[in-house]
Structure formats: C-alpha cells, structure tokens
Structure 1
C-alpha cells in the first residue's frame, strides 16, 4: 500500500454517496507498500480501505481480481472483497484512477513472525489454493519469469547506482534461474504471488485476512510457497535466515499439499526466482519512485542477500 494519488475530502465524500456506507468521518493515507494508492476510510457506519490503482495494475485486470476475491469469500476464506455500490458495481473511477472501496478486515501484520504465525499463514495459503480449484478465471503472471529479463534491461546500468556490482550480480542470478526453471514440471493454479507478512493480517497466531491480491495470476502452485518462504524466513534486511520459520511455512502448507520429491528438489530454484523477481521490482521502484509520493521504498539489496542463501555459489559483491 502507498499514496501516489491525492484524494480530497470533498472528492471522497462525493464518491461515498454512491454506496450505502454512511457519511465520511475521516480518511488517512497509508504509506506502507509500493503498488497502489490506499486510504483508511472511516464512515458513520464502518471502516473501509479505498484503493486507487496505479500504473502497474491494469484496469482490464480488475474484473479478474474482484471475481477472485468474491470466489474466495464465498468459500469462507478471510479475504476483503470490494463493496458494491447501489447499482452493484465494484469498479469505479476517482481522481482519474480506477478505484474500489474494499471491506476492512481486523488484524495486524507482523514484522517478525513466529513459527506459529508462519505455520498459520502457510496453512491459509494452502486453503486458498484448494479454494481456487474450481475458479474459472485465468490471468498470465505479469511479473512472471518472462518479465524478468525485460525489467532487468530497463533498469540497465542504473542498478549500479543502487550498489556497485548490482547489475552484474543480478544479471548472473537471472541467468542461473532461467537455466534451471521448468514451467511444465509442476501443478499450476491461481496464486497470490505476493504473500509477504504485510499482506497477512493476524490476531495472535490466528490469520484474520489475506489481502492485496493484485499480483494474483495463474502460475506454478509451489512457487507461491517459495515466494512466501523468501519473504517470511529472514529478517527485514535479508541478513539472517530463520530456519524455524521456514520449516513452519512448509509444515503449514503441507497440511493441504505435502511437497513432492520434485518440488523439494526444485524449491531452492523457485525461491531464487522469487528473490530475482523482487530484487528487480524493488530496484525499478527505487530508481523510479516520484519524489513527492507518500511511499516507503523497499531495499532491493535485502533480496540479493536472501538470494545468496538459496544459491550460495553466486557472487556476493552486493550482499
């Protein structure tokens, strides 16, 4: 979450008149995250999240995301579907951006998850994967393997402005992952593709919400767990691996899908791919975030450090 597009109180009040949600009481921009503009909105009746979709989220993809959330909610999963207006529409326009009013879920995102919290979150991911078995929507992964080299080339030598040697290290890592990646070897389904700790809401050791499905796509099922493993099993700087958390993630997910021998053998490659993907997108955002955006930039080097855990043979110039 973040704020790139400013919304005035007057514009938001007019927007809310389309819904049966009461009158605007307060609104506050949310700085966490990097993808869309988000506001915490309180009305006289309830609390909501207002999301304005920025350039990385294509307006044509929004019906897929909304249908996915509705499907998961119908299966009693803790996800935040969009609130329909009086005409039944969930996708609107506000300040020149596609916009949705999202149901607020209770809970907090943990920054240093315990093994018990990791187990619960991965269990929830496994339940999500089971729930999409009869979901008919399909969406190519806009940040999948085929996107990484073009993004690397767009970043170009500017990567070395972030850290000397980053262009060479990330290019080598990209080559190694592409050589080992095998799309056809594993089950595919709709995956979350971004289930970081800040996209899981918890009360104690209980998951109260899975949020921010705006990278959801059809891809390798176990790759979703590899993304989660790379995000949860390290400290925020990516310096210290926490094996108890990593083991708990795999154990929680295995409640629904025990890893096969082939998945175990490929897991380090899939996790390396996750590291490359997030190092690249963070680097791009680091180089291109507007100076006046209310957003917390995320360090791409934290994913280079994680990458060296999964592939120790890589050069360590940027670790």
Structure 2
C-alpha cells in the first residue's frame, strides 16, 4: 500500500456517504506497498458501532479492468470465503470514482499479518487457497493474469540494461524456459481459473492463531492454480534471509491444499517449474519498480535481490 493521491477527510466522507456506511471518524494513509493509494477509514455506523474500512484509489488499473477484481471478491464472499466485500451504493455499484480515479471501499479484515509463519499457519493458508480456487470455478468474468508471461516478455527488455551480466543471463534463460514451458501439452492441461496471484504473508490476517481472511486481489487473473501455489510457496515457505525453501512449511501448505483439491499428475510434475515462474514474476516486477519508480508519498519499493535469491534457490532445487 502507498499514497500516490492525497485524499482529504471531506473527500472521503463524500464517497462514503452514498454507501450508507456511516459517519467518517478518522482517515489514515497506509504505508507500504507500491501499486495503489490506500487509506484506513474509521466509520461510526448508524447503530453507533465503530467499523473499519479500506479506501483504495487505483493508480494503474482502469475502470475497464477493475470489475474483474471487485466482483471476484464479491463472488468469493458470497460463497463464504473470508475476503473483503466491496461496499455497494444504492444502485448496487461497487466501483466508484474519487478525484477522477477508480475507487473502492471494502471492510477491513480482523487481526494482523503473521510475518513469521509456522507450519500451522501455512496449513490454514493451503486449505483456504484450495477452497478459494474451487469457489471461483463458476465465476463468469474472464481476465488474464496481467502480470503473466506477456508482461514478463514486455518488461524484461526495460530492466536488462540495469543488470549485471550474470543477472541478465539468469533473466534471459529463465524467460526462455517459461516461454517454452507454455507450449507443452502438460502445461496446457493444468487446471486453471481465477487466482489471487499475490497471496504473500502480508496479504492474510490472523487473530488468535486462526486465519481470518485474505485480501488485496488487485493482481488477480485467470491462470493456472499451480502458479498461485508457487506464489504462496515462494513467500510463506522460505527462509527470507537466504531464499531457501523450508520443507516443513512447504509440506504443511501442500498437504492441506491437496486434502481439499488433490493434485493432478501434471501438477505434481510441473510444480517446480511453476515455482520458478512465480519467482521470476516477482523478481521482474521488483526490478521494474526499483529501476523505473514512480513518485508517491510513503512509497517503499521492495528490494529486487530478494526474489533473485528465491529464483536461484528454486533453480538449484529443480
């Protein structure tokens, strides 16, 4: 999260009013993250109770792309998946406008992110991820993963001039490998559907050790379920300092996931390749944000060398 566009309390209150959520008490900018403008909004409901919401202004995504994400969240919430549910206006619209930009207001999940997850946390995440994949199967909207292979191929030439020779060699070789992979029959047969595609440990909430929900669906798209698993394994189940995989956490997440949705034979074979794909995706996006930054209050770009380490570790354990 970050603040690219300053929002005043009066502007936020004007947006909240037609949603029937109540009176704005406090508005706070959210630090961290790199994509959208985010504020926490404390609201006093008509009942007198205090509720917390997240107000988001979308800086890169347009009005034509956002319905996929917002209605996916609404679809999952209706099926009992613990995700933020976008607040509608009197006409049922959940995509709003503020300062000429697309905006949404969602309920803030309870708890806090578990930044040092243990196997038990990973198992809960695996169970929820499988439930989420199955719940989204009948979601009618279609949109590709906008940070998928096509974006990798477009972005790599922009960052290559900034890399050391050994980094450039790694990027080129992994990109060539992923381009070849998608042509294989085994890959094309992988189960797929709407995926979160960004489910890092800071995009989930726990309270009292129990997973209360996952959020930040604004990189979601239709892709292989295995790619979504790779994203999670590369964050929840590694040693952050070295990028090396943690076997206990990895097994906990995978075992819990497949108790809900068993893996196909092709998925078992191709999981290492999709973990490499997920590491490549985030290495590339962090390189892009690092070398081609945008200005924003509270903006904190992530160090791209972290996912270079993760990718090298996945290559070494292929």
| SS at structure 2 position matched to 1:18 | helix
Once residues 240 and 184 of structure 1 are traced to their aligned partners in structure 2, the CA distance between those partners, rounded to angstroms, is 29
Could you tell me whether the CA contact under 8 Å between 2:2 and 2:296 is conserved in 1?
Answer: no
Q: TM-score, normalised by structure 2?
A: 0.92
Match of 1:219 among 205, 208, 223: 223
Structure-2 residue corresponding to 1:51: 56
Aligned: 1:154 with 2:158 = yes
Could you tell me whether the CA contact under 8 Å between 2:84 and 2:109 is conserved in 1?
Answer: yes
Could you tell me whether the CA contact under 8 Å between 2:4 and 2:295 is conserved in 1?
Answer: no
Structure-2 residue corresponding to 1:175: 176
Q: TM-score, normalised by structure 1?
A: 0.91
Structure-2 residue corresponding to 1:37: 37
Give how far 1:291 is off. Answer: 4.2
Structure-2 residue corresponding to 1:24: 24
Match of 1:281 among 281, 285, 290: 285
Once residues 80 and 251 of structure 1 are traced to their aligned partners in structure 2, the CA distance between those partners, rounded to angstroms, is 26
Aligned pairs for 1:1-319 within 5 A: 1-45=1-45, 46-55=51-60, 57-160=61-164, 165-181=166-182, 182=184, 183-312=187-316
Once residues 67 and 139 of structure 2 are traced to their aligned partners in structure 1, the CA distance between those partners, rounded to angstroms, is 13
| Number of residue pairs matched by the alignment | 310
Give how far 1:313 is off. Answer: 8.5
Bigger mean CA deviation after superposition, 290-299 or 35-44: 290-299
Once residues 275 and 239 of structure 1 are traced to their aligned partners in structure 2, the CA distance between those partners, rounded to angstroms, is 10
Once residues 259 and 277 of structure 2 are traced to their aligned partners in structure 1, the CA distance between those partners, rounded to angstroms, is 24
| SS at structure 1 position matched to 2:238 | coil
Once residues 199 and 12 of structure 1 are traced to their aligned partners in structure 2, the CA distance between those partners, rounded to angstroms, is 24
Give how far 1:51 is off. Answer: 0.5
Once residues 92 and 141 of structure 2 are traced to their aligned partners in structure 1, the CA distance between those partners, rounded to angstroms, is 20
Give how far 1:64 is off. Answer: 1.4
Aligned-pair Cα RMSD in Å: 1.8
Mark the runs of 5 or more structure 2 residues left unpaired by the alignment: 46-50
Could you tell me whether the CA contact under 8 Å between 1:112 and 1:235 is conserved in 2?
Answer: no
Distance 1:100-1:24 versus aligned 2 partners, 3 A rule: same
Deviation per CA, 1:87-121: give whole Å up to 9, x if none.
32221111231101111210211111110000001
| SS at structure 2 position matched to 1:60 | coil
